[in-house]
Amino acid sequence: MKLSSKIIGAIILIVGSSGAVYAFSKHSDWQMTPDEKVEFVTDRVTKKLNLDSQQQQNFTALAETVAQIMLEARDSRQQQVNEIGALLQDPSFNQARAMEMVQQKTQMINAKAPLVISSLAVFLDSLNAEQKQQLEEFIEHHRHRRHGTGH
């Protein structure tokens, strides 16, 4: 796979999941199950974009895919934090292990990206022009807010 294809894929993955992640993060109850988060996000997006039942099903599939990936990543996060701490405490930084950890993350992203991209494509292809415009405006607004201009 060419580097440009990987970059484009990563951008699409980030954009596709940013809406779901944003909605997850805006809800104050972090004790929600993944299914509850998917339902919350789906309800929010359905109302904002005025989705029909097929579009809602497509978005639910996307949200479930993202939620599952986030759950898998969360399960391995503490082990990774511990390993990074151990690497930092060693007298000599183990570059080979650090590179191995980066490669493991990259492999996970490469393995999961096609799932997210295909779910995202099905959802986006089901939107009409007005809904796509609303989504673009939301992403643009959110992007500016993340860089401190909207605060």
- pLDDT of the chain, 151 residues: tens digit per residue: 566 666 666 566 565 555 555 555 555 456 778 788 888 888 888 888 898 999 999 999 988 888 888 888 877 888 888 888 888 888 898 889 888 988 888 888 889 889 989 999 999 999 899 988 888 888 888 777 655 544 4
Q: What is the DSSP string of 37-78?
A: HHHHHHHHHHHHHT--HHHHHHHHHHHHHHHHHHHHHHHHHH
pLDDT at 105: 84
Q: Among candidates 65, 17, 54, 48, which has minimal Cα distance to 138?
A: 48
Q: Is 63 exposed, middle or buried (0-12, 13-18, 19+ CB in 10 A)?
A: buried
Distance CA 52, CA 7 (A): 32
Phi (first) and psi of residue 101, to 5 degrees: -65, -40
* 70, two tokens: 């986030």
Distances from the Cα of 96 to the Cα of 60, 80, 85, 131, 138, angstroms: 40, 15, 15, 47, 41
The reported pTM is: 0.67
- Residue spans per domain, the chain: 3-74+113-144
pLDDT at 18: 56
pLDDT at 139: 81
